[in-house]
Every structure is written in structure tokens, then in C-alpha cells.
Amino acid sequence: MSNVSKIIAVHSYKGGTGKTLLSVNLAATFAKAGKKVCVVDLDFRAPSLFAILKAENVEFWFNDYLNNAVDIGKVLLNLSGRLSGNGKFYAALANPATEAIRDMSSKDRKWEMRALGKLLALKETLLASKKFDYLFLDTSPGLQYSSINAIVAADYVIVATTSDRSDVDGTKRMLVELYNLFEKKTGLVLNKVLDSSATAKKTEMGARVKAAYQVPLLGIVPCFCEVLRAEGNFIFAQDKPDHPFTKILTEMARKIESNEVD
């Protein structure tokens, strides 16, 4: 596909690999550059976007949209005021209430099939009608229905992985047994890399990643204590514009925008 990816799913094999951190900060990076973006929380088992974005007075959730209760417009939360510049930053949140989590985990296959249709419809409603530039689908780790739906609906999938042995093995298997079958354009982000010289040897790392995972490398994110210290309390790319983490995300955004992801 030569078209620029507009719907980007962020997925991983294991939890805690930095999916939400990447989704929110990549979206913020695009918004800072004047784009209209939306982050969608599809991790219905452990919703986290709600807390990270400190959302208040949420009337409708993305759950409601998938349940066919409301239009997508009612779910969108405009958080553009949180960012500098004239970009637009929206979020569609997963309901963190225990009752909602229980409800989402008991859906049948027909519901999941319709949910895929609702995700695919976002291309028309958000991208075409509401003129969004990018949608980021923050998924649940592993082979979950909601995550696979997101992968099928996406134009491009970012897989976040760490150097943890169980994560490496699982990610490799997932790429072969899941992504290959759907013929998805995929990019790998190595997160929490301890060897600080790894980022300097980008070309070498890129070749190693390509050999090991058979997918192109989108970026390497070293383990930054400052990012951990922030405890998910602010949008890093917005609050620390000169931090190396922000610069790495800016480079990822550039690659996505110029379609240098193959």
C-alpha cells in the first residue's frame, strides 16, 4: 500500500511494553505539528487512557459506541486545550468501571464481528467526514478480540516490544502467526532499551531487528528514568519538548507521515 497510514494500531505481545505511552505521545507529537488526531483506548480489560489524560465528566465511552448506543461524535473528548499550537487532540476512552469491564469481557462472536464493522466505519466518520489526520488505536496486549479487530481495521500496526526473553519470543510468534496472515504493514518499536549506545548504532540495530523479527524497525526508545519518574502524569512529548524521548517520537512521526515505514 503506497498510501500514508491514517489508522495506526499500537499493539504488543506482553503488557507494560509502553503501548499507551507511545500512542498518547505519538498522537501529541502529531497534534503539536498542527494535525487533528484522536487516541482510542481499546484496552477494555484494563483501561488506562482515562487516568493518563485525567479525563473528567466523561459522558459517553468508546464502549457505548461499540454497543451501538451513541454516535462516535458523542464519545470524542476534545483535549486540544492541553497542548500548545493549533493542532487538535481528541480521545475516545474505554470505561474503567468494573461493571463495564465485565460487560466487555462477556461479548459473543457476533458482537465482535459488528465491533470490527464499527471500527472500520471510523475511516468514513472520523477520517473522511470529521477530517481527522490520524487515529491511534491503543490496544490490549496479546491475542484479544478487541486487539485483533484493531489490527484488521488499521492501515499500520506499531508493535512495542522490550528485550525481555518471554516478550521477544512471544512477539516473534505473534508476528508470524497473526500479522503475516493479515498481511499488515508493521513497524517495531524497541522500548526500554538499556544499552544507551544502541540508539547510536541505529543502522546496525535496524538490521538485527529485521533479521530477528522480519519486520522493519520504527524506532528505539532507551529506558529514560525521567519518563518513568513522570509516572504517567503528563504528556511527555508536550511538557518536555527538548528531551531525547520527545526527539525520538518526532522522528517516528516523521517516518509515518512520509510513509518511510516499509
What nine digits make up the cell of 218?
A: 520504527
We find the least distance from the C-beta atom of residue 225 to other proteins, in angstroms, to be 38
Closer of 99 and 108 to other proteins (Cβ): 108
Please report, as ranges, the residues that interact with other proteins according to CB under 8 A. Answer: 109-110, 112-114, 116-117, 120, 145, 148-149, 152, 178, 181-183
Query: One-letter amino acid identity for 13?
Result: Y
We find the least distance from the C-beta atom of residue 54 to other proteins, in angstroms, to be 32
Closer of 46 and 120 to other proteins (Cβ): 120
Closer of 69 and 120 to other proteins (Cβ): 120
We find the least distance from the C-beta atom of residue 157 to other proteins, in angstroms, to be 13
Closer of 86 and 180 to other proteins (Cβ): 180
Closer of 13 and 30 to other proteins (Cβ): 13
CB 209 within 8 A of CB 217: yes
We find the least distance from the C-beta atom of residue 184 to other proteins, in angstroms, to be 10
Between CA 126 and CA 129 the distance in angstroms is 6
What nine digits make up the cell of 249?
A: 517520537
Please name the residue that has the C-alpha cell 493542532: 87
Between CA 134 and CA 47 the distance in angstroms is 21
What region, left, alpha or beta, does residue 221 occupy, with left being phi > 0 and alpha being psi -120 to 50 degrees? beta
Between CA 157 and CA 188 the distance in angstroms is 9
182 sits in which H/E element: helix 180-182
We find the least distance from the C-beta atom of residue 9 to other proteins, in angstroms, to be 12
